[in-house]
Amino acid sequence: MRLRFALAAMVAAILLLPTSGFAEISSPVPPTLEEAKKSEVTTQRLRDNFNVMFGSGGNIGVLSTPTGTLLVDAGIAVSKEKISTALDALGGGPVKYVVNTHYHWDHTDGNAWMHDRGAVIVAHRNTLHWLSNTTRVIDWGYTFPPMRGGGLPTDIVEREKQLEFDGEPVLIRNFGSGHTDGDLVVYFRQADVLMSGDIWWNGLYPFIDYGAGGGIDGLIASIDGCLDMITEQTIIVPGHGPVGTRAQLVAFREMLFKSRERVSKLKKMGLTLPEIVARKPTSEFDRTYGNFWIDPSFFIMLVYKGV
């Protein structure tokens, strides 16, 4: 709730600016960190030996076998003990791989401690770039220092990589810039589970990191790539929100497409950002997607930046 208020204040500041400028605001990162300190890490079993963990930033995928464990994303480091306890309860072997779906802190902050326990960190080359340098996320009003030591990825993916993990074929793929310029999706063929990272926020308006190469057009194209990989039976784990289905991802894609078209039309007519927000071009979708920290006004601003 506090995070939602912080983002609301950010949007109010943005809408008071001239149309050529965008505000920096009180960052949502500190309240997110405080929430992670308090939250329990819970586990949901999906299929066979595949589970998802909630409660430490982005959702974490877990493929656990007697000989080892593969994770998709690493959560926030303050959740180390809770994640460790949850992993122990699953009964798998030591963590051997962590695949970062992108560079954002709520998905990579746990890299270092997982590496210290033997994990190889897998990521796109651009994720390595952002983690290796001081990076400011303008729309979060926050500067992240370079990641040090073992937290940096060492197994680098360009476009595609395939792993065989204890009999489970794992396909790691990049569809180009979308949420960021280093997005990876991870598909577990046998389990028929897709980890989308922040390409998809289920039931939520998404964040688009323009400073790190993201964009609304690329986000839609990345979703199209995901849809081509899967069937109606595939379970999809979003970066944020509950586990979902292909039909829900299709609906999310439709929301993005219509929002882009409507905001683009209004911008081409010469309307300013505050005027476009006042027109409520996303009202059709606000009840479904607008109840998290990215509210309709903030989402319209993100779309506006990309059209």
CA dihedral 32, 37, 39, 44 (to 10 degrees): 90
Beta bridge partners of 99: 72, 122
Q: What is the pLDDT of residues 237-247, one digit of tens each?
A: 999 999 999 99
- The residue written with tokens 């959702």 in the block is 59
Superfamily of domain 40-254: Ribonuclease Z/Hydroxyacylglutathione hydrolase-like (3.60.15.10)
Residue extents of the structural domains in the chain:
40-254
Euclidean distance between CA atoms 250 and 235, whole angstroms: 13
Tens-digit pLDDT string for the chain (307 aa): 334 433 444 443 333 333 334 444 557 788 888 888 888 999 999 998 999 999 999 999 999 999 999 999 999 999 999 999 999 999 999 999 999 999 999 999 999 999 999 999 999 999 999 999 999 998 888 899 999 889 999 999 999 999 999 999 999 999 999 999 999 999 999 999 999 999 999 999 999 999 999 999 999 999 999 999 999 999 999 999 999 999 999 999 999 999 999 999 999 999 999 999 999 999 999 999 998 878 999 999 999 999 9
CB distance 301 to 276 below 8 Å: no
Cα separation of 306 and 82, whole Å?
38
What is the spatial distance between Cα 96 and Cα 58, in angstroms, rounded to a whole number? 20
Q: Which residues touch 18 (CB under 8 Å, ≥6 apart)? A: none
Residue (of 190, 265, 198) closest to 226 by Cα position:
198
Tokens 């990049």 found at: 174
Residue 145 is classified by DSSP as: P
> Helices marked H in the chain — which ranges?
2-15, 29-38, 80-90, 105-108, 111-116, 125-132, 216-229, 246-268, 273-279, 283-289, 296-305
Q: How far is CA 147 from the centre of its chain?
A: 18
CA distances 250 to 4, 78, 209, 302, Å, are 26, 34, 22, 20
Beta bridge partners of 204: none
- pTM: predicted TM-score of the whole model, two decimal places: 0.91
Give one DSSP letter per residue of 36-68, joined into a string.
Answer: HHHPPPEEEEEETTEEEEESSSS-EEEEEETTE
